[in-house]
Amino acid sequence: MPLRDLDPSILPPVNVDELIDGWERAWSGKDEKAFAAVCSRKIHYEDPLTPEPLEGVEELGRHASRLWAGFPDARVEQTGERLTNERYVAAPCKLLATHRNPLNGLPATNRFLVVHAVFYCEVRRNRLLRVRGFFDLYEAATQLGILPGRGTLGEKALMMLRGFGLRAGRST
């Protein structure tokens, strides 16, 4: 009987650390197929760079390939204890990478970045079924020199242009 047809209650308990270690290795390994070892075929994935949630391990692999194309030295490392109840996992980590090649119309900046993230995952049948990545996209853009740093005059000007900080004038 195929594993996918087994009752999940009779599967051996998942070792969450091994599963998330495999997830981090898949992001670091530059092999789209590596996600199949830790993810459900029907994985549901989203992060700040996915306009719509990705469905399936193949879409996730293509998404990772785009990262690797722009950041060929990209790697993901654990930054703290993983919190779990065996069904859900919160896994803090960081992405370390150098922007060496153009990406989505953005020319290479050749800047190194460190982006802290948390993956919130649902585990089913010893595989990742749903994963949502949380990270600060603005911070990544400032590290790449694309957006002004926080608290700078440039950031204040950008916020004014976007309509933040503007108030209707008072008549005195």
Q: Does residue 8 surpass a pLDDT of 70? A: no
Task: Count CA within 13 A, CB hemisphere, residue 77.
Answer: 8
Task: Write out pLDDT tens, residues 64-121.
Answer: 999 999 999 999 999 999 999 989 999 999 999 999 999 988 999 999 999 999 999 9
- What pLDDT does residue 17 have? 95
Whole-model pTM?
0.82
Closest CA to 137 of 165, 91, 106: 106
The CATH code of the domain at 3-135 is 3.10.450.50
- The structure tokens listed for 151 are 């608290």
- Give the separation between CA 26 and CA 37, rounded to whole angstroms: 9
> Residue 103 and residue 83: Cα distance in Å, rounded?
33
Contact between 165 and 156 (Cβ < 8 Å): yes
